[in-house]
Structure 1
C-alpha cells in the first residue's frame, strides 16, 4: 500500500471519528450540550487526534528509519571492503537503488511476478535489454552481487511497506476505539485539544531549530573533510581561485569574498536611499488613496522571480551600461559586470527595505509628532529630527537584513555579473560571488571526495557564518537601541 493511500485511509478514519465522537458525547447527556464539560466539537477533535496523530507519527518515523536500516543491511552484505569505505558504499547503494527502480518499472510494464524477477541474473543479455527499455542502462560488466542486492533491496522495501501499513492501521483503529471509550459528559476534551495545540506549536518551533542544526552539521562535516585535504591557510588567504580538477588547484576564498561584498555594496547603495525615501513618502506624505496603490505596487517587486530579474540584467541593464557608460569611458566592453548585478539586486531589495521601514515609521507614536508640531517644527523637520531618530534602530536592522539577502543572491549574479573570480575596483568588469561558485563546483560529474567538490561546502559554511553574523548584529542593534513607547 502506498503512503498516499495509507494517509487517506487514516485521515478518513479520523474524520469519521470526529463525527462519531461528537455524536457520542451528545448522546451521553441526552442531547443537552450544557451538561458537557466542553463544547461538542472538542470531543470530536479528541477522537480525531487520537486516531490520526499516533498513526501519522509512526508513519513518519518509519519512513525515516526504514531507509537507514535497509541501506545498512545491504551495505553489510556487500562485504567489509565496501562497508568500511564511505564513498564506495555510497556509490554502491546508488547502483543498487538505480537497478531496483528499473526492476520496479520493468515489473509495472511487463506484469512480471516477483518470482520471475528473482530468477533474473545480471549476466543475461535479456535483462540488459529489458532494463534499457525503461531507461536503466547496465554496462557490459555488472557486478552480480550488486544485481542480487538490488533484488533484495526491493524485497526489503516491499516487506517494510507492508509492515508499516499494518502497524499504522492497527494504531489508528486502536486510537479510534480508545478515544471513543473515554467519551462521556465529564471528560475534559477541551484540555486534551488545547494540550495538543500547545505541543504542536512547540514541535513547529523545534522543527525550525532542528533544521538549522541539520544545515550547520551537514555543512560542518563536509567542511572538515575539505580542510583535511586542502590547507585551511591557503583557502582563507590565497588570492587566486583556479580549480583545475586534476591537481594543483588554487582554491582561494578572497577573490570570491571580494566579488560578493563588492556586488552587495553596489546593491545596497541603490536599495537603501530609494527604499527609505519611498517609505518616508508612503508613511508621512502620501494621501491614503495614493498610499493604498503605491505601497502594494512597490511590494509587488518582491514577488517577481529572481530568474526574471536575471534576464532583465542580461538583456537590458547589462547592454545599456556597456554601450552608454562603460565603452564610451573606456572602462570595459562586457555586459556582465559588478554594476549590472548590483543595480538589479538593488532594485530587488527596494521593496524589502521600503516595506520594513514603512512599518517601523508608522510604529512611532503620533504623540511625538504632535509634540514636535506644537513646538513650531515643520513637517520635514519633524521627520528628520523626531521620526527618523526614533525609528533608526529598526531601519538599521532592516538594512542589515537586506544586506544578508543581497549577499545570498545567486541567479542575478550568475546572469548579470559573470563567473570571473578576480580582484579589482572597476565596477564594469565581470566578477563572481561565493554563491555562484557553490553552484558551479557542485555541477557536473565530479568525484565527491575531491577538494574541487568539497570546497563548495567550505564556501557554504563561510557564507552561512557571514549572513548569520549580519542577522545577529541586526537583532542586537534593534534590541539595544529600540525605545519602548507607551
Structure 2
C-alpha cells in the first residue's frame, strides 16, 4: 500500500471520527446545547484530532527512520569483500542494488533464474523493461535487491497496520472522553495555536539551517585559506597551483566585491530615477483609469524571469551599445572601433536597472499614497502648487520609507546572477571603466559549484565563503533599511 493511500484511509477514519464525536456530543446534550461546554463541532474536531495526529506523527517518523534502517541492513548483508571497499564504491554498489530492486517485480521466474545463471543477460533483460543498468551486476546484488524489496514491503505493511490501528484506537479513546464538561474548544484551539507556531517557525528554522550550513563549510575553507587573504586579496585565480607548490590558487574577494557593487550602482542609477518618477506620477498625477492600467503593466516586469532579462541583454542591449559606440567613435575619429563591449558593466547595469524598476516604483508608490490626504489638502489650501506640495510636503514625509525601499532594492541587485552571467561576463578584475566586463560574487559561486565536484577542496569550499559574505552584506542592508524606516517614520493620527 502506498503512502498516499494510507493517508487517504487515515483521512477517511478522521472524517468518521468527527461525525461520531459530534453525534455523541449532541446525544449527551439531550437537545440542550447549553449543557455542553463547547459547540458540537468542537467535540467532533477534538475526536478527529485525537484520531489523526498520532498516526500522522507515526507516519512522519517511520518514513524518516525506516529507510535508514532498511538500507543499513542491506549494506550489512554485502559480502566482506565489498565491505572492505571504500564508501564511494559501496554507495555505487547500493545504487545498483536499488535499481535492481525496482526491476525485480517486473521479471518472471524464468528470467530471474536465467539471470542468476548468466549475469551477463541482466542488462539486455532490464533494457527490455525500460531500466538502464550502468555496469555489470554481481550475483550478490540480486539477492540484496530481493532482500531490499522484502524489507521494504514488511516495513510498509507494519506501518499501515500500526497507523490504522492507532487511528482507530485514537477515535475510540476520543469518543470515550467526550463529556458535557469536556473543554473541547480549548483543546482544539490549543492544537491550532501549536500548528500556527510550527508554521511560523519554519522560516526561522530554515534561515538558521541555511546560515549554519554555509558557516560550517566556510570555516572549513578558512582552515585552508587564511581569512586575511580572502577578504583583502586583490587577485581571483582559484586554480590549483603547479605540482609541488603549497598554494592552491588565489581567492581574493575584492575584485568580485568591486564588480558586485559597481554593477549594482549602475543598476540603481537606472532604476531609482525611473521608478521613483513613475511612482510619483501614478500616486499624484495619474487619473484613476490611468493608474489602473499603468501600475499592473509596470509590475509585469517583476514577473519576468531573470534569465529572460539576460537574453535581452545578450541579444539586444549589448550589441546595441556596441554598435552605437562604434558609430560615435567613427564620427569623431574616423575609426569605427567600438569602445563599449557587448558584455560590460554598463550593459548589465542597464538591464538590471530595468528589472528593478517595478520594485522601486511599487514600493515607493505604496509609501507615497500612505501619506495622509490632510497634508496635501493643507499645502494646497495655503496656496502651494502641486509640484511644490510634492517636493516640500509629500516627499519629505515619505522619505524614510523610500530610503528603506531603495536599500531593499539594492540588496536585490546585489544578489542577481543570471543577468550578470550573460551581460557582464565572468572576468574577475578591478577597473573603473564601465564599458569593460566585470563579474560579481554570485557568478563565481555558480562557477565554483558547477560540475561533478566534491566539497573537499578550497576551489569548491570558497563558494560557501562567498555565500556567507553576500548573506552578511544583504542582511546588513536590510537591517539598516528597517532602522531608517523605524527611526524617521512619521506617525500620523
TM-score in terms of structure 1 length: 0.87
Q: Deviations over 1:211-263 (max 9, x none)?
A: 01110111111111222223332222222222325664222222221221111
1:75 Cα deviation (Å)? 7.3
2:400 and 2:180 map into 1 onto residues whose CA distance is: 55
Q: Do the aligned residues in 1 keep the contact of 2:104 with 2:146 (CA within 8 Å)?
A: no
Larger-Rg structure: 2
2:474 maps to which residue? Answer: 467
Matched, 1:481 2:491: no
Task: Output aligned runs, 1:144-155, within 5 Å.
Answer: none
Deviation per residue, 1:46-68 (Å, 9 max, x gap): 23322333322332233334445
State the match for 1:386 in structure 2: 393
**2: distance between equivalents of 1:353 and 1:274?**
9
Which sits farther off after the overlay, 239-248 or 122-131?
122-131
- Quote the residue 2:293 is aligned against: 293
Aligned in 2, Cα 1:425/1:93: closer, same or farther, shift over 3 Å? farther
Q: For each residue in 1:266-311, what CA deviation from the matched residue of structure 2 results, as whole angstroms up to 9, or x when unmatched?
A: 1111111111111111112212122122111112221122222222
Change (3 A) 1:485 1:144: farther
1:345 aligns with 2:352: yes
Q: Is the 8 A contact 2:119 2:139 kept in 1?
A: no
Q: What's 1:446 paired with?
A: 453
Aligned residue-pair number: 480
Is the 2:234–2:254 contact (alpha carbons within 8 Å) kept by the matching residues of 1?
Answer: yes
- Secondary structure at the residue paired with 1:431? coil
**Corresponding position of 2:407:** 400
Match of 1:254 in 2: 254
CA distance, structure 2, for counterparts of residue 35 and residue 146 of structure 1: 67
Cα deviation digits, residues 329-372 of structure 1 (max 9, x gap): 45646322222222222111111121111111122222222232
Q: 1:167: which partner in 2?
A: 162
Q: Counterparts of 1:183 and 1:84 in 2: how far apart (Å)?
A: 60
TM-score, length-scaled by structure 2: 0.86
CA distance in 2: counterparts of 1:258 and 1:83, whole angstroms? 51
Q: Verify: 1:104 aligned to 2:111, yes or no.
A: no
Q: Within the alignment, does 1:366 sit opposite 2:373 as a pair?
A: yes
The change in CA–CA distance for 1:371 and 1:333 in structure 2 (over 3 A counts) is closer
Are 1:377 and 2:374 matched, yes or no?
Answer: no
**Partners of 1:396 and 1:477 within 8 A in 2:** yes
Task: Please report the RMSD computed on the Cα atoms of aligned residues, expressed in angstroms.
Answer: 3.4
Q: Which has the higher mean CA deviation after the structures are superposed, 17-26 or 289-298?
A: 17-26
Match of 1:197 in 2: 192
State how far apart, in whole Å, the 2-side matches of 1:147 and 1:322 are: 63
Offset, 1:152: 5.9
Which structure 2 residues correspond to residues 250-329 of structure 1 after superposition, within 5 A? 250-325=250-325, 328-329=328-329
Change in Cα spacing, 1:132 to 1:291, as seen in structure 2 (3 Å) is same
Gaps of 5+ in 2: 243-247, 330-336
Residue of structure 2 in register with 1:231 after alignment = 226
CA 183–443 in structure 1, closer or farther in 2 if over 3 Å, else same: same
Aligned pair partner of 2:173 in 167, 171, 178: 178
| Separation (CA, whole Å) in 1 of partners of 2:323 and 2:219 | 46
Matched, 1:48 2:48: yes
> Residue 439 of structure 2 aligns with which residue?
432
1:243 aligned partner? 238
After superposition, give the CA deviation of every residue in 1:125-155 in whole Å (9 maximum; x if it has no partner): 3445556665554446x89898887776655
Preserved contact between residue 345 and residue 406 of structure 1 (Cα < 8 Å): yes
